Amino acid sequence: MEHNNLNYEKLYVFVCIFLLSATIQAQSFRITKTVVNSSITDTCLSLPDSITSVSLYSDEAINFTDILIITDSATYIPHEEGIHTETENGMWSELIIFEHPQTHLCISKPVHKSITFTGIYVQPYTEIEKQSAVQLKSSSCSDVPTMIYQDEWRADLPAPDYERIYTETKNIIIHHSAGSNDDANYTDVVRNIYTYHTETREWDDIGYNYLIAQNGIIYAGRDPGEFPQDMVQGAHFSGNNAHTLGICVLGNYEEVLVPNTAYQSLRKLVTWKCAKDSLQPLLTASHPLNSKLPIIAGHADGAATLCPGNYLYEFLPILRNEVADSLRQCGYTIATDLPEIAFHNQTSKKGSISDTELCYVFTIQGQLIAKDIVEKIRHYTENPLYIIIPQKITEE
């Protein structure tokens, strides 16, 4: 992506840019914060040390999507991350993780807005072999999914030291990490998120209970201490984290479809959790952010955010029903608050329905999973597992 207003050959006088510059350095990570003056619009930064990721902060309201961060190989548009804890002020962008360490980049931003630019460098960790960890199909819903634990992915980084909070799960909240979809160094992505949460945001630990890489690898997230991994309270749901479990799928699903490898691992993990805690995947539960929050919900179901991205959010009805089907096969009884639908000889009209026609979407087993205009559920028409029929059917 090109940006004609910036020129790498044009370097600005940094005296007027650096109102504040501070560096926190440890053996395995480094944090550099720089305030970019409100009078500066387009500028290029030559950094004293390389960085592997960056985040932006503003004390005042700002639309982060008006900002461009440009490296020698890519252009990034930051998005607002939103509030995760009850005590945070100001506005944060989502963490942008670079595919390669950067020492030079340019920023284009609106006038009259000061931003704090936080560059993060995390020492790469290469001991974990690149692998595909797609969860194998199992006849048992009680099998704990395989995963990489904290003592491996967090190697050489400071361990968290705080008093954990135990919580029983009523809702499973799905997130995406946003940022790049191209970085295949998944362990380094997790290490950057951990450092961002603990050193930049100054949280006790990484916010999520689990993280899932695009190739299906599951990472155990927040360190549970003496608690089970799925019973430690995280920091991921707008300051209302009690009775929630946070799962983050790496990648930006406003831009691309969810890889099947990641989706299958997500399905396996959520099925295991629902079986373990007797959660009903097709029902809702009352929560301070949503009185009818789905048991399996997206971040956007309780907050004004794009997370977990439209492409992942659209798959949550499918996830709920596939988890329900897996639990049925394991002998669990599945409850539903959806009405029973009688077909009365209606036939599928896949591919021939008007975009504005209101339709029902069923699984081939007859389970209703969506009701909307065709334009919004078009991806179902390409999947032979689902049947779309007009609204004109009898409800009994």
Is the pLDDT at 175 greater than 90? The verdict is: yes
Same domain, 267 and 349: no
Classified as helix, coil or strand, 382 is: helix
**Mean pLDDT on 76-103:** 79
Residues 183 and 246 in one domain: yes
293 and 168 both lie in a single domain: yes
Claim to verify: residue 324 and residue 352 sit in the same structural domain: no
Number of structural domains in the chain: 3
Contact 45/119 with Cβ under 8 angstroms?
no
Claim to verify: residue 275 and residue 251 sit in the same structural domain: yes
Contact between 320 and 347 (Cβ < 8 Å): no
- Sequence-distant (6+) residues with CB within 8 A of 76 are 68, 69, 70, 96, 179, 180
State the Cα angle at 192 between 179 and 265, rounded to 5°: 70
Q: Does any domain span residue 7? A: no
- Residues 255, 259, 262: CA angle, nearest 5 degrees: 120
Task: Specify whether 273 is located in the same domain as 363.
Answer: no
Give the pLDDT confidence of 293-348 residue by residue, as tens digits: 999 999 999 998 889 998 999 889 889 989 999 999 999 998 876 433 333 233 33
Residue 144 belongs to a domain: no
Please indicate, yes or no, if residue 129 is contained in any of the structural domains. no
Helical (H) or strand (E) element with 158:
none
The predicted structure's pLDDT at residue 72: 87
Kind of pairing between the strands at 171-176 and 244-249: parallel
Q: Which pLDDT score, from 0 to 100, does residue 305 have?
A: 87
Mean predicted confidence (pLDDT) in 116-129: 81
Tokens of 306: 């794009």
pLDDT at 131 over 60: no
pLDDT over 70 (residue 113): yes
Is residue 104 assigned to a domain? Answer: yes
- The verdict on 345 and 273 lying in the same domain is no
Model pLDDT for residues 141-156, shown as the tens digit of each residue:
989 999 999 999 999 9
pTM of the model as a whole:
0.78
Tokens of 338: 């959806």
> Which residues, 6 or more positions from 149, have their beta carbon under 8 angstroms from its beta carbon?
220
Indicate the pLDDT class of residue 360, thresholds 50, 70 and 90: low
Asked whether residue 183 is domain-assigned, the answer is yes
- Domain housing 325: 150-329
Cis check for the bond before 158: say yes or no (omega within 30 of 0).
no
Domain of 87, CATH number, reads 2.60.120
| CA distance linking residue 219 with residue 4, whole number of Å | 40
Phi then psi for residue 294, to 5 deg, are -55, 145
In a domain, 142, yes or no: no
Query: What CATH number should be reported for the domain holding residue 206?
Result: 3.40.80.10
Boundary (domain end) residue, out of 294, 329, 364:
329
Same domain, 187 and 233: yes
What residue type is 35 in one-letter code? V
Same structural domain, 25 and 155: no
| pLDDT higher than threshold 80 for residue 378 | no
Q: Are residues 212 and 306 in the same domain?
A: yes
Q: Look at residue 89 and tell me whether its pLDDT is greater than 80.
A: no
Residue 136 lies in a domain: no
Shared domain for 229 and 284, answered yes or no, is yes
The helix or strand, by DSSP H or E, that contains position 266, with its residue range, turns out to be: helix 260-277
Write down the pLDDT at residue 367. 60
Same domain (yes/no): 214, 280: yes
Q: CB–CB of 28/156 below 8 Å? A: yes
Residue 335 lies in a domain: no
